[in-house]
Amino acid sequence: DAGVIQSPRHEVTEMGQEVTLRCKPISGHDYLFWYRQTMMRGLELLIYFNNNVPIDDSGMPEDRFSAKMPNASFSTLKIQPSEPRDSAVYFCASTLSPRFRYFGPGTRLTVL
Amino acid sequence: QKEVEQDPGPLSVPEGAIVSLNCTYSNSAFQYFMWYRQYSRKGPELLMYTYSSGNKEDGRFTAQVDKSSKYISLFIRDSQPSDSATYLCAMSPNTDKLIFGTGTRLQVFP
């Protein structure tokens, strides 16, 4: 099994630019989660989907963030416009059982 | 007050030492308790999982849950340099919600 796949692995962009992060969950998993990790705040849940439907987006920091899951094998997290305070590592995770998480390798985002 | 508290460390120990990592929590509804290990520049991976109170052992790793004290521990026996990582506790009530601690960084030196 290839595990959760995320792309890009690193992204450096300038303030104001649009950023799109991509995730392919483990085949057969019906939950998908987006997390953000920083030194100060640790792992924060941004949004999660069940069967491609957004269930809880209360962790999305503001309207600049949006996430979609058009099918069971693909999800995107978009930031528009990006700001320096968005710099973090963004993880996608998937699972069959909602009590567990299988994380991808993360996307390290730097906004200058 | 955060729902889950975890000392960030770093914790530095010599190879072969017994390591104790801990978390406290405030929500008595938590039923499922997990430890994740995160190597540098990698995603967290599930290490141990315990339901309700008690102990669970897996090789050199032992997870303990004390619900009366709202306290969980992970013990690593005969620690190895390859155990150097950040350890995150995580816990959940009987729902989709999973709350992570901020992680304790462990360094095992030869």
Whether A13 contacts A112, CB under 8 Å:
yes
| B chain contacts of residue A101, beta-carbon cutoff 8 Å | 36, 44, 46, 90, 98
The string of pLDDT tens digits covering residues A23-46 is: 999 999 999 999 999 988 889 999
Token pair recorded at residue B63: 């997870």
Which among B42, B49, B101 has the least Cβ separation from residue A105? B42
Which among A99, A100, A106 has the least Cβ separation from residue B43? A106
Identify the segments of chain A with pLDDT beneath 70: 1
Whether A72 contacts A18, CB under 8 Å:
no
3-class SS shares of chain A: helix, strand, coil, % to 5: 5, 55, 40
At B79 the pLDDT is: 97
At A62 the pLDDT is: 85
| B chain contacts of residue A104, beta-carbon cutoff 8 Å | 43
- C-alpha–C-alpha distance, residues A66 and A57, integer Å: 9
Identify the segments of chain B with pLDDT beneath 70: none
- C-alpha–C-alpha distance, residues A92 and A47, integer Å: 10
Residues belonging to chain B with any Cβ–Cβ distance to chain A shorter than 8 Å: 32, 34, 36, 41-46, 49, 88, 90, 92, 95-96, 98, 100-103
At A1 the pLDDT is: 63
Residues whose CB is less than 8 angstroms from the CB of residue A5 and which lie 6 or more positions away in sequence, other chains included: A23, A24, A104
